[in-house]
Amino acid sequence: MAIYKCFNCGRQISHKSLEKRFVCPTCGSKIFYKPRKHITKVKAV
């Protein structure tokens, strides 16, 4: 299952919610991005 994040307010929205209406229910933004499940930590040398 894919989870998207609103680019404007940061709300997490499931892709099922976006199938009906591709807008953020909180702020009405239509810009989303897909956060990565596994965050790669980079160690500073």
Question: Would you tell me which residues interact with Zn ion (CB under 5 A)?
Answer: 6, 8-9, 11, 24, 26-27, 29
Residue (18 or 41) nearer to Zn ion, CB:
18
Residue 15's H or E segment, with its range, is helix 15-20
Residue (10 or 39) nearer to Zn ion, CB:
10
| Phi and psi torsions of 13, nearest 5° | -130, 135
* Minimum CB distance to Zn ion, residue 2 (Å): 17
* Minimum CB distance to Zn ion, residue 14 (Å): 14
| Distance, CA of 22 to CA of 34 (rounded, Å) | 14
